[in-house]
Amino acid sequence: MKTSLITFLTFLFVHLSAQDAASILDKIDANMSSKNRVFESSMTILGKRGSRTIASKSYSEGTNRSFTEYLSPASEKGTKMLKLDKQLWIYSPSTDRTIQISGHMLRQSVMGSDLSYEDMMDDRKLTEVYDAVVTGEEMLGDRKSIVLTLTAKVSDAAYHTQKMWVDAVRFVPLKQELFAKSGKLLKQMEMKDVIQVQGRWFPTTIIYKDMLKQGDGTEFKMTKISFDQKIPEHIFSKASLKQ
């Protein structure tokens, strides 16, 4: 009788914990996902020999379409990147050529940062990809956070497991650790400067760190952001790369 009660309570705890976690994921998606977004950003690559900053303007719609134009420095100005479904093209103004990024090149870093082209192409909703379990609570700086362990429920998730620290009040991720199937830590993200935009909480600074690479990571700062805008259809076409 006693054993059955313990089993029942354990099951209830796990079930409730999973249910809580699922609702947390929903809230995170509500904050982080949108029909589309337009933002200006600066990406600072913190390397061994100093850092460099690249500014860009991006348009993205859902998980399949995005367009980025680099604004500075002069060496990168005019470089454009278009993602349509699983394909990615880059236009380089110095050569006036558009090349399609494929295969092993997708695994290379974007402009020497800790982000690969693949990372930029993978941005599905968390609730579609992961089952979550609440595994604890921690203070991250002055914010109380809920620690979630996410395990892929679909076979085609980029990362099999994630550990996520979520702001307990605002429901935005404050820190994420992305693991390989083997359990090896591959990437770490820290989110800062959370602001409220159009009724949602959103971190405007993200520090990416590829844990297998040297360097201090890449700081991705959004200087302007707006959600659910009217984006002209021609932006997401190959023709826009050369304009």
Partner 1 sequence: MKLALKLAYRNLMGAGLRTWLNVIVLSFSFVIIIWLKGVMTGWDHQAKTDMTNWEIGGGQYWQSNYDPYDPFTITDSHAPIPDELKKQEETGEIVPMLLLQGTIFPEGRMMPVTIRGVSPTQSFLHLPASKLDTGDGTISAIIGAQMAKHSHLKEGDYVTLRWRDANGTFDATDVLISSVFSTNVPSVDLGQIYIPLSTLQEFALLPDEATIITLKNAEESATDYPGWVYKSKKDLTRQVDEMIKTKSAGQTVIYAILLLLAMLAIFDTQVLSIFRRQKEIGTYVALGYTKQQVVGLFTVEGSMHALLAALLSAAYGMPFLAWQAKVGWTMPIDASEFGMAIAQTLYPVYSFGLVVSTVLIITITTAIVSYLPSRKIAKMNPTDALRGKLQ
Nearer to partner 1 among residue 181 and residue 224 (C-beta): 181
Among 35, 97, 181, 224, the residue binding partner 1 under the rule CB under 8 A is 181
Nearer to partner 1 among residue 160 and residue 200 (C-beta): 160
Shortest separation between residue 54's beta carbon and partner 1, angstroms: 18
CA 80 to CA 89: how far, in whole Å?
8
Nearer to partner 1 among residue 78 and residue 215 (C-beta): 215
Place of tokens 């059955």: 4
CA 101 to CA 89: how far, in whole Å?
6
Supply 115's token pair. 């982000």
Nearer to partner 1 among residue 10 and residue 108 (C-beta): 108
Question: Which among 76-84, 106-114, 163-171, 226-234 is the span making contact with partner 1, rule CB under 8 A?
Answer: 106-114
Nearer to partner 1 among residue 105 and residue 147 (C-beta): 105
Nearer to partner 1 among residue 159 and residue 165 (C-beta): 159
Among 28, 157, 189, 194, the residue binding partner 1 under the rule CB under 8 A is 157
Helix residue ranges, H only, 33-115: none
Question: Which among 3-11, 51-59, 100-108, 199-207 is the span making contact with partner 1, rule CB under 8 A?
Answer: 100-108
CB 123 within 8 A of CB 85: no
Which residues are paired to 41 by β-bridges?
56, 222
CA 25 to CA 150: how far, in whole Å?
10
Shortest separation between residue 214's beta carbon and partner 1, angstroms: 3
CA 184 to CA 62: how far, in whole Å?
29
| 215 touches partner 1 (CB under 8 A) | yes
Supply 193's token pair. 């400067």
How many residues belong to the site for partner 1 (CB under 8 A)?
25
61-64: which pairs have CB atoms within 8 A and are 24 or more residues apart? 61/35, 61/36, 61/231, 61/236, 62/35, 62/36, 63/123, 63/124, 63/125
| 50 touches partner 1 (CB under 8 A) | no
Residues that bind partner 1 (CB under 8 A): 102-105, 107-109, 152, 155-160, 178, 180-182, 184, 186, 210, 212-215
